[in-house]
Amino acid sequence: MNRSLGACALLLVATVTPVYAGNRLVDAGRPIAVAHDTLTVTPDREWNELGWRAGPRCERWTLDGEALNAVTFCGAVESGRPLFREVSKHDQPLPHFSTTMLLTDVPDLVEKSCRIALGASLMTIDSAEPARLDGERAIRFRYTFTRQEEVERHGEAIAAIRGKKLYWMSYEAPAIHYYARDLESWRRLAATTRFR
C-alpha cells in the first residue's frame, strides 16, 4: 500500500513539476528575446517569465504573480491561426488572424479570443488609437474584462502587422491598485520592443 502511495506521489510530482520548472527570472538591463524569438524587449526591472504559454507563439511575464499583473507577448501569428491555444475547437473555435485584417480589426480579434480562451464573459474595448511599434504602424487599445468569480481587470495592448504576420503584447491587472501601479513599467517595457 505504501509503495503504491509513494509511486502515485512520485508520478504526481513528475507531471506537475515541468509546469513550474519553466518559470524563470528575467534580468533587467539586457535585451531578451520573446514571443518565440520574434521580438526583443529590454526590461528596466526584473520580471518573472511564466512557464505556461497561452499559445505556440506566446509567453507571459509577471511582477507579482499572474493574478496580480501579467504581460503577454505574441509574435509572428500567421494568417489562419488563432492567438491562443484552442479551448474547444469543435464547440467554441477561436477566431483566426487573417492577412485581410486591418490594424483596427485587431482589438475585436483580441476581444473575441479572450472571451473564449480566458472565459471573459464581460469584456469591452474602451479606447483605441494609432501607435508605433519599433517604427511600424501599430494600434494601442485599452480594455476591461471580468472572468467568472474574479475582480474587474484592465488591460492595455499594442499590436502591429508586419510581413503579413501579427505581433502584439498586452498588460493586464486588477483595476484596483495593481493596474495603475505597474502601467508605466509596462509602457517602458513596450517602448523597448524591437523586431528580430
pLDDT tops 60 at residue 7: no
Q: Over the stretch 73-84, which tens digit does the pLDDT of each residue have?
A: 999 999 999 988
- Domain ranges, ordered by start, for the chain: 23-195
Smallest CA-to-CA distance from 65 within 53, 47, 77 is with 47
| pTM of the model as a whole | 0.84
List residues bridging with 160 in a β-sheet: 138, 167
pLDDT > 70: what percent of the chain?
Answer: 89
Q: Give residue 42's pLDDT band: very low, low, confident or very high (50, 70, 90).
A: very high
Alpha-carbon distance of 153 to 164, in angstroms, equals 31
Q: Which three cell numbers stand for residue 132?
A: 508605433
CATH class of 23-195: alpha beta
Is residue 158 over pLDDT 80?
yes
Average pLDDT over residues 6-31: 62
Give me the torsion for CA of 98, 102, 104, 105, rounded to 10°: -20
